[in-house]
Amino acid sequence: MSKGDNLVKFFTLPSHPPPGPTFSDWFKSLTTVLNYFIQVDILSSDFQKVTSAINSIKNEVIYECESKADRSTSSVYDRSDYVVRELLRTTRINNILQYVRDTSALLASGKLTINDNGKLLLSDKLVDPQLAHALLVEIPTVLALCFTAQETIGTISISDVIKISSELLTIGAKRVTLDVELDPAQQTIFSAVILMLTCCLDNLKVLNTTLFFSMFEDEKIFQKLIEFTLQANTENQQLPLNNAITCMSAYIQSSQSEPDRKKLESNPEFVTLYRKMMDEVINPKLKESRSNRSQFRSILFFSRSLRV
């Protein structure tokens, strides 16, 4: 990037048009924007170009998030998920993961914090709203979208995913609510990382499952998901709450999780937390509507193993 890039003006790209001359121009603009997703310190002035670039593709990202394509049976290269395809093709997906990893690490260290009003602070000073939204919503949404492709899951670092998940679940177990505007198709940094875990559990055939489940157990992700669920319920944050329930269900359904679940059955702290989740979250939702039962089938199944 040249010095002149500091003055670059981004415009908001519309969602992709049908194939044709207009599409060619649109795609050229997309690739130009994605070239700005470089390795850079998220707290540096150079990261402003990344936040502007990520904001300029918001419409296309939301359009791809809303797609009804069957991602479980088709290759990303056979779908119109152009942002995902280009990030994978150029390996810039690793830079997107790095942005989230750095945000997570700064939150875990306390350099970045979330105050009681849900605002992002850096060393006790409010973070620029555009930067805060990029770190807490726009970038996590792009990463979560990328994880809907098996091709992403087969290429990323599992240890990074588990570490980020462990850090953010721990933070979210204290506070989940963020003061951000959210399109229905978008994710927050908390809901996104849980969605990433679920995508991994749904695509085990492209994973090193031994490493994944070993780290999942070592980091006590299942227990952290329960603690996170309890906090999300307290704050009435339905998106991260539902994502956490889906993730736990996927874990319970996986045969590779059985050794960990057997150990947890004799862990008093875990059993107490699970019972609390059943009492405060699951059972009240079942009373609201019997149609909720299918959503919680795996959760209920495991509760019988714990006798709670």
| Dist. CA 175–CA 121, nearest whole Å | 14
DSSP alpha helix (H) spans, the chain: 21-34, 47-56, 58-65, 82-89, 93-109, 129-133, 139-146, 150-153, 158-172, 189-202, 209-218, 221-234, 238-253, 258-264, 268-277, 283-288, 297-306
Residue 249 resides in a domain = no
Residue 104 is predicted with a pLDDT of: 98
Distance CA 156, CA 94 (A): 7
pLDDT < 50 regions, the chain: 1-7
Count how many domains the chain has: 1
Estimate to the nearest angstrom the gap between the alpha carbon of 16 and the chain centroid.
24
Question: What's residue 6's pLDDT?
Answer: 47
Give the Cβ contact number of residue 290 at 10 Å. 8
List phi, psi (to 5°) of 114: -115, 120
Q: Quick one: pLDDT at residue 9? A: 61
The answer to whether residue 286 is domain-embedded is no
Average pLDDT, the chain: 94
HSE-CB at 252 with a 13 A cutoff on CA atoms is: 23
> Is residue 219 situated within a structural domain?
no
Please choose, from the candidates 62, 53, 44, the residue with its C-alpha nearest in 3D space to the C-alpha of residue 8: 53
Q: Which of 262, 252, 104 is nearest to 188 (CA)?
A: 104
Contact 294/301 with Cβ under 8 angstroms?
A: no
Cα–Cα distance, 234 to 176 (Å, whole number)? 10
Predicted local confidence at residue 122, as pLDDT = 97
Q: Is residue 236 part of a domain?
A: no
Q: Which domain holds residue 132?
A: 10-207
Classify residue 214: in a domain, yes or no: no
Q: Model pTM?
A: 0.94
* pLDDT tens-digit readout, 5-41: 444 567 899 999 999 999 999 999 999 999 999 999 9
User: What is the reported pLDDT for 7?
Assistant: 43
Contact 148, 73 (CB under 8 A): no
**pLDDT tens track for 245-264:** 999 999 999 999 999 999 99
pLDDT of res. 93:
96
Q: Which pLDDT does position 308 carry in this prediction? A: 66
Instruction: Return the pLDDT at 3.
Output: 41
